Amino acid sequence: MSVTCWHELDSPVGTLLLAGNGTALIRVHFQSGRHPLRPAPEWRRDAGPFAAAVRELEEYFAGERRTFSVRLAPQGTPFQLSVWQALRAIPYGETLSYGELARRLGCPGGARAVGLANGANPLPIIVPCHRVIGVDGSLTGFGGGLLIKRALLTLEGAACVADLFDASRPRCVQ
């Protein structure tokens, strides 16, 4: 079993904790949220294994990268893995509803299950769960918070607009 390494990266959406097994990225965590991740005592702080991920994230935040090529090793159920793979197929700057994603996965009526898998995504930004929105165009649930979700979609040029009815519920137009 390999040792988990970790590194923190300052980004335009706050500090990101990257964790990996030395050959692949297994986690990206928003440290500025309500639940910062504390590396386990046996984890080793080491920036080296994350050079490619850091470079690609910096390029993404600079508007120079639309897809990621770093090696990933997410851990989840077969259903979660299928949802996370489907998330990677949502093009940069576009959004999709939970229901539509469920339909594409062959699970019509499975929007809630897709939402739960989406919320368990261990690799946000790289596996773009921020591109999934409510059927009414609202920005719903995101581990980094809705302000970060809006910031990521704005960076990508998604058609985000202020909610005309309730300023506390940001919306995106599909």
Distance from C-alpha of 5 to C-alpha of 46, rounded to nearest angstrom: 6
Average pLDDT over residues 12-21: 95
Q: Determine the pLDDT at residue 171.
A: 45
pLDDT of 39 > 90? The answer is: yes
In what helix (H) or strand (E) does residue 80 lie, and over which residues does it extend?
Answer: helix 78-87
Is there a contact between 27 and 122 (Cβ–Cβ < 8 Å)? yes
Question: Looking at 5, 107, 129, 172, which residue is catalytic?
Answer: 129
Closest CA to 96 of 132, 150, 139, 135: 132
Distance from C-alpha of 57 to C-alpha of 55, rounded to nearest angstrom: 6
- Measure the CA dihedral 61/9/72/93, to 10°: -20
Q: Determine the pLDDT at residue 160.
A: 60
Q: Determine the pLDDT at residue 166.
A: 45
Q: Where are the alpha helices (DSSP H) in 88-167?
A: 98-104, 111-119, 146-155
Average pLDDT over residues 24-42: 92
The reply to whether 172 belongs to the active site is no
Domain extent listing, the chain: 5-61, 78-172
CATH node for 78-172: 1.10.10.10
| pLDDT tens digits, 120-165 | 999 999 999 999 998 888 888 888 888 899 999 999 988 764 333 3
In what helix (H) or strand (E) does residue 15 lie, and over which residues does it extend?
Answer: strand 14-20
| pLDDT tens digits, 60-106 | 999 999 999 999 999 999 999 999 999 999 999 999 999 999 999 99
Q: Which CATH class is domain 5-61?
A: alpha beta
